[in-house]
Structure 1
Amino acid sequence: MEKEPVQYQLLRQIFSAERMVFRIGELSSMTGVSSRQLRYWEQKDYIESMQRGDEQAARSYHFREYARVTGIKYFLDNGYTLSAAVKKVNDYINMANLVHVFVKQAIKNVDDRGDHIEIDLGWFDEAAGQRLIAVQGSGKVTYKIIER
């Protein structure tokens, strides 16, 4: 089993969505959705607050709920009904989850070369003789194949 590169470990700690937690007032302020609406959406199971030990504690939400609320509000602002907005957001979230799994499995290493970044996308051929490398630099992405 390959050991995860150090930069992945560091980025995972920095950008851990589970560590990004917002109280209901903060979420309301960040999204423009009233606290009352958020409680209603939670009652309808459109969003979910974190489990609380003390019922007096303010509702808190993970970052994923921020993304969900932002999406629902976007579609509401564009004329969708609440149920249609929720369905649309759920469809987008499901697609994003599939892309996330794909990217997580596809990226083997990221190497900063100073003027560009090289992303190792793994074996290009079944014989494991060629690696596919994505090169990002100068505002564009190109690909190259490296022979073993």
Structure 2
Amino acid sequence: MASTPKKSNDEGQFDRVDFQGEVFVISVAAELAGMHAQTLRTYDRMGLVTPMRTRGGGRRYSRADVELLREIQHLSQEEGVNLAGIKAIIELGEENRNLKESLRKVTAENEQLKDQLRSGRPRGELVHVPRSTAVVMWERRKGRAK
């Protein structure tokens, strides 16, 4: 079932998502993940997997959602991780991806600034500020309370 998925924003409006692949109703996603549909509903309520929603509230799962469901099943059944631990793993993975993206952007900006410095493109004037070696003695002002 191919369509253009949408996600609901805070105002109840629907925004287009960049994902241009297949989306699946809950029964198909459950079958692809090897789980019962009720398990997917539970995972949605717990925040482990957040599927897209139709205007009527129906869940629509992407390929990435199905892969995440499979990973949850692997961690739970074969690695013995409880659902709270799985949620922490998912959240840390998302945080890690966000940090990597931030690092990529800052690194690109840094390279751009280095290129500007190398090319001599003026972004501002460099001014030499001499360092003082003078010693200044501090004295308490008269009339101030301790």
The two structures have a TM-score, normalised by structure 1, of: 0.50
More strand per residue: 1 or 2? 1
Counting only pairs closer than 5 Å after superposition, residues 115-134 of structure 1 correspond to structure 2 as 122-123=111-112, 125=114, 128-129=117-118
Given that 2:48 and 2:90 are in contact with CA atoms closer than 8 Å, whether structure 1 keeps it comes out as: no
- CA–CA separation in structure 2 for the residues paired with 1:31 and 1:107: 38
CA distance in 1, matches of 2:84, 2:50: 16
The Cα shift of 1:69 comes to 2.5
Secondary structure of the 2:47 match is coil
1:41 to 2:43 alignment: yes
Q: Secondary structure at the match of 1:79?
A: coil
Deviation string, structure 1 residues 36-79 (Cα, Å, up to 9, x no partner): 21111112232222232225x5x202455345424322321311
User: Where in structure 1 do 4 or more consecutive aligned residues deviate above 6 Å?
Assistant: none
Say how many residue pairs are matched. 101
Alpha carbon RMSD of aligned pairs, Å? 3.3
Does the residue aligned with 1:60 lie in a helix, a strand or coil? Answer: strand
Confirm whether residue 80 of structure 1 aligns to residue 81 of structure 2: yes
Is residue 54 of structure 1 aligned with residue 17 of structure 2?
A: no
Q: Secondary structure at the match of 1:18?
A: coil
Q: Which runs of 5+ in 2 are unaligned?
A: 1-16, 120-146
Task: Check the 8 A contact 2:25/2:61 in 1, yes or no.
Answer: yes
**Cα contact 1:19–1:62 (8 A) shared by 2:** no
Q: How does 1:64-143 map to 2 (within 5 A)?
A: 64-76=64-76, 77-103=78-104, 106=107, 122-123=111-112, 125=114, 128-129=117-118
Separation (CA, whole Å) in 1 of partners of 2:27 and 2:94: 24
2:20 is matched with: 19
TM-superposition CA deviations, 1:91-147 (whole Å, max 9, x none) = 112101221333356469xxxxxxxxxxxx9348375328xxxxxxxxxxxxxxxxx
Aligned partners of 2:35 and 2:18: how far apart in 1?
21
Match of 1:115 in 2: none
1:129 to 1:84, Cα distance in 2 relative to 1, 3 A: same
- 1:90: how far off? 1.2
Amino acid in the other structure paired with 2:73: K
